[in-house]
Structure 1
Amino acid sequence: MSVPSEYAGKVVLVTGSRRGVGKLIAEHFLAAGATVLGFARGAAAIEHPSYHHFEVDVGDTDAVVRAFGEVKKVTDSIQIVINNAAVLTSQYAMIMPPAAAQAMVNVNLLGPFMVSREAAKMMRKRKWGRIINIGSMAASLEPMGDSMYAACKAGLSTLANVMAKEFAAMNVTCNTLAINAIDSDMLSQLPRDKIDAIIAGLPVPRFSQPDDILNVIDFFAAERSSIITAQTVFLGGVN
């Protein structure tokens, strides 16, 4: 595979890099010549000379700050951040355990805030950066049983939009990719017939494939996308 000039020499931080979409994205950047820093609660699942793994729970604000202290022992710059780590408990609001709701807020919303905040401090020195959040169709479709998850994912777009204004002077863009559905451990937690029915109602009625996701990631991360910020792209025609 040829190495795109956009990623040769770039340092990319991917949260939730141990499996699913996060692992897919991390491997994509590695194959394209980037150095990848992976944040995940478990041990590394990627072996590559340009991959550096950090065991960290992004839902723990103190742990995120400590992790960035460790990152700075490896590199003094980060150019691209992919806020992918997320947890999901799908239950009706009246029976949702408060601890599960709090975990979603911590990991799915506060985590990206902390990671973006700390990474932006490093991007400021180089005056270049791309922050890309992985959102969800749930933010727009608002399915029953996903009240807290959908709220967090909707908040993720708002978070990016406000940060886009705050970071624009540093030449740092902030955008969100809202995935419809892709086969993953998270998706397996949900009733497949429910997901199939939702997908069938979309303008493009199919599950996302890896290249669908990577195509938008590459678009947001590109050097030529310096004017693209505070945007949310929904896959499958969700609106």
Structure 2
Amino acid sequence: MIFQDPYASLNPRKTVLDLVGEPLLIHQRTPLAQRTERVAELLGQVGLPADAMRRYPHQFSGGQRQRICIARALSLNPKIIVADESVAALDVSIRAQVLELFEQLQREHRISYVFVSHDMSVIERVCHRVAVMYCGQIVEIGRRDRVLNQPQHPYTRRLLEAVPVPDVDRKRDFKALLKDIERHSPIHPKGFVPEPLRFDEVADDHFVAVREMA
């Protein structure tokens, strides 16, 4: 797991060696010498020097802290990493560097990402398949090019229309984006079970929720 806030997800009282090596200690009982060697290797993979393991989280920038979180996520050689808004807290230039790192690690380790984000430009760059969720349910899913270029569900279309456009002369009517969307409260009583959705395959590997089943 890689969390949104790289500072809040790192214990400020522990060194990078302790933080990145903790999964190795918990799951594999790896001795300190081997753990130190593995942490140095992981830091190298995310573009940090080996001596960084002796420092604390507050001594790093936001981008460096996120690299530490990525190194920790890689420590047990996972097949899948869940990245929850993992670049949302970074500025644009650092975000680009971290995304390049994600792509590089995916090529080297053949890792799959479950990449959670509201930033459509990030989704377009990182993801091969896209699932759009509304009120806790998937309403459209398919290949990236299909979902982003030919959206079928009203919420997907409004989501893409809400992407900021760098044009000061173009006024956006954000209230209009809420039209044609059935609104549901995300708050439900205990034991609530949502109605199952029926999906239509509108194209090859492109599915859209069309209505609730009775």
Shorter chain as denominator, the TM-score bin is 0.3 to 0.5
TM-score (norm 2): 0.34
* Structure index of larger Rg: 2
TM-score by length of 1: 0.31
* Structure with higher helix content: 1
